[in-house]
Structure formats: structure tokens, C-alpha cells
């Protein structure tokens, strides 16, 4: 009723950019292609689709179901961990919102490693958190960045970009906005109140957005760097910058590329981040590090 899928909008914008940068004529595999949603983004490519074609829209009737699901146009119908193509037969592989529907997603990465040419490109998207959908073909709710950082290098992949689609606040906004429709779907008598809560939540995030910029993958392939550049182009002049929860200093490194003359104060309470932050401070006199938590 009131729900707008910002998550999907931002993801598709990111995919459009990532796929658009692939050289024309490249042979691409769309693994788990379903209803070929992303085929239109691959018109300049030699497109091949794959799906196991077992989901019919109804599933087992639990969780979120589509009602209808047409996989009649799939090129290769098979298990995603055993695709009947030769080794090194694709320049690129796209696998979008599929890994949560596979019992053993690490085996999928094994198969992609086999199918990709040397220097090939793997484009993955998957949820960080999700409701049960397409059941019974739903085996996990999502993946953290650490899953990719663990499994991809083990299989010979170099990660050139790992971008979150929004943040925890964007996730909360998304779930609040669809709370009413979900309560109504499951027949909960309180669904009108859920819509009211969703509207109030959306109002809160709109107000919050007036004072904070949420950077997502739609800002471009360089993430925060592009965001800082846009802020600078819009007149932001920074001389003193505070990075609270500095982690390993990655945010500050990006910021330094745009505001190299600013003075930086980095605060982080975690001992495991101490060495990397102190190394940054030693290499740049404009950086000051404080190891501890900030609060009132």
C-alpha cells in the first residue's frame, strides 16, 4: 500500500552500472536467472541464462511467495553447482539474489571459479538479512561481508569492490515500511496500526535524512570517495573531521583523497584496530588517534 522497495531500486541501479562497464560482446552467465529480470541490462553482452527451474511461484505456501514464476525462457536448466559448460567459458558471471536459495553457497563459488576465464569478472549480490521467501528453497537469511572475504579469496578471486546496499538504518526503514502489508498478508487484526507505524517510521527517516547522508552502492564504484566528491562539489569545505568508530581507518583513507589538508581525529574502542590506526597516525601528522569510546 505505502511500501516502496528502496533496497531493490538501489541494487538495480548498482547492477546497471556494473554490467554496463563490461566490454561489449563479453560472454556472460546469469546464474539463477529466474524470470530474466537482468537480461535487459545485458543487451551489449553475449547473454546466457541458467536456473534450476523448480520454483513455480507457490512453493510450499510458507513465507513470501510470488504466486507465479515463469522460467520457460531459461537457456540452461540445471543445478547451479553443476553447470554443463566447459572450464573458462565465460568472461563474466552474474549471480543476483540467489545464494540464499542454495543449500551450500560455497560450492556455487567453486563452480563459478571453474567457469570464469582468467581475469574474468564475478558480479554477486545477496541479502544481508531477509524474510523467508521462495520456500522451501530458502536456506539462509543473508550474508555478511565476512562471508565474501573468507570464501572468495580461498577460491582465487580478488575482491575489487564490496559495497553495502544502505546501512542498518536503511534496513530498519525498509522493514518498517513493509510491516503493514506483511501483517495484512498474514491476517493479523492489528494490520492498520502497523501501517500507521510504518508511516511514522518513514517520516522519522525523512527527517533524519535532512541531517545525514546515507551512502549506498548507488553512489558509484568508489563508494565513499564519490560521496565525498559530491559533497565537496556542493560546497562542503572541511578543515576538522572526526571519524567515530574508525575501525581500521578505511573511511578516513577515502576522505583523505578528497580533503587531504583537513585535520582528522579518529576514535575507536576496539583493541584489534589499534595497530592499523596508529600506523596511519605515524604516517600522517594531520591524523590524531584516540583509543576509547566516546559518549556523554
Among 154, 171, 190, which residue terminates a domain? 154
Asked if residue 36 is part of any domain, the answer here is yes
Q: What is the mean pLDDT of residues 16-31?
A: 97
Rounded to an integer, the average pLDDT of 64-92 is 97
Domain count, the chain: 2
pLDDT digits (tens, 9 = 90+) for 157-212: 999 999 888 778 888 888 888 888 888 878 888 888 988 888 888 788 777 665 44
Q: Among 129, 154, 179, which residue terminates a domain? A: 154
58 within domain boundaries: yes
Is there a single domain that holds both residue 263 and residue 128?
no
Q: Are residues 236 and 118 in the same domain?
A: no
Maximum average pLDDT range among 85-94, 176-185, 230-239: 85-94
Whichever domain contains 17, its CATH number is 3.40.50.150
- Do residue 17 and residue 147 come from a single domain? yes
- What pLDDT is recorded for position 4? 59
DSSP letter string, the chain: -----HHHHHHHHHHHHHHHTSPTT-EEEEET-TTTTTGGGGTTSEEEEEE-----S-TTS-SB--S----TT-SEES-TTS--S-TT-EEEEEEES-GGGSS-HHHHHHHHHHHEEEEEEEEEE--SS---BSTTS---S---HHHHHHHHHHTT---S----SS-HHHHHHHHHHTHHHHHHHTT-TTHHHHHHHHHHHHHHHHHHHTT-PPP-GGG-TTTHHHHHHHHHHTT---SEEEEET-TTSHHHHHHHHH-TTSEEEEEE--GGGHHHHHHHHHH-TTEEEEES----
In a domain, 255, yes or no: yes
Is 161 within a domain? Answer: no
Q: What pLDDT was estimated at residue 209? A: 65
Are 21 and 106 part of one and the same domain? yes
23 and 139 inside one domain: yes
- pTM for the complete prediction? 0.68
- pLDDT band, very low/low/confident/very high, at 293 (cuts 50, 70, 90): low
Question: Is residue 192, in this structure, part of any structural domain at all?
Answer: no
Residue-number span of the structural domain to which 235 is assigned = 229-291
Task: Read off the pLDDT band of 219 (50, 70, 90).
Answer: very low
Whether 221 has a pLDDT exceeding 70, the answer reads: no
The answer to whether residue 210 is domain-embedded is: no
The yes-or-no verdict on residue 81 having pLDDT over 90 is yes
263 and 134 in a common domain: no
216 located within any domain: no
Amino acid at each position: 500500500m505505502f511500501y516502496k522497495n528502496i533496497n531493490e531500486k538501489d541494487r538495480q541501479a548498482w547492477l546497471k552500472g556494473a554490467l554496463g562497464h563490461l566490454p561489449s560482446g563479453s560472454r556472460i552467465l546469469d546464474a539463477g536467472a529466474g524470470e530474466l529480470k537482468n537480461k535487459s541490462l545485458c543487451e551489449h553482452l553475449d547473454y546466457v541464462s541458467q536456473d534450476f527451474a523448480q520454483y513455480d511461484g507457490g512453493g510450499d505456501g510458507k513465507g513470501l511467495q510470488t504466486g507465479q514464476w515463469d522460467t520457460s525462457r531459461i537457456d540452461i536448466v540445471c543445478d547451479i553447482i553443476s553447470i554443463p559448460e566447459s572450464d573458462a567459458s565465460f568472461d563474466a558471471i552474474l549471480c543476483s539474489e540467489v545464494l540464499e536459495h542454495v543449500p551450500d553457497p560455497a560450492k556455487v563459488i567453486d563452480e563459478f571459479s571453474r567457469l570464469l576465464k582468467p581475469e574474468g569478472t564475478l558480479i554477486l549480490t545477496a541479502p544481508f538479512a531477509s524474510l523467508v521467501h521462495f520456500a522451501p528453497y530458502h536456506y539462509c537469511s543473508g550474508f555478511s561481508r565476512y562471508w565474501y572475504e573468507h570464501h572468495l579469496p580461498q577460491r582465487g578471486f580478488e575482491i575489487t569492490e564490496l559495497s553495502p546496499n544502505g546501512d542498518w538504518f536503511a534496513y530498519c526503514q525498509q522493514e518498517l515500511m513493509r510491516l503493514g502489508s506483511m501483517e495484512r498478508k498474514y491476517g493479523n487484526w492489528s494490520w492498520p496500526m502497523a501501517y500507521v507505524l510504518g508511516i511514522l517510521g518513514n517520516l522519522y527517516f525523512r527527517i533524519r535524512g535532512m541531517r545525514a547522508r546515507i551512502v549506498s552502492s548507488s553512489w558509484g564504484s568508489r563508494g565513499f570517495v564519490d560521496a565525498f566528491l559530491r559533497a565537496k562539489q556542493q560546497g562542503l569545505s572541511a578543515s576538522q573531521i572526526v571519524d567515530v568508530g574508525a575501525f581500521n581507518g578505511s573511511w578516513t583513507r577515502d576522505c583523505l583523497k578528497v580533503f587531504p589538508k583537513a585535520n582528522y581525529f579518529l576514535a575507536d574502542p576496539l583493541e584489534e584496530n589499534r595497530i592499523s590506526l596508529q600506523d596511519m597516525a605515524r604516517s600522517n601528522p594531520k591524523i590524531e588517534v584516540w583509543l576509547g569510546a566516546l559518549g556523554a
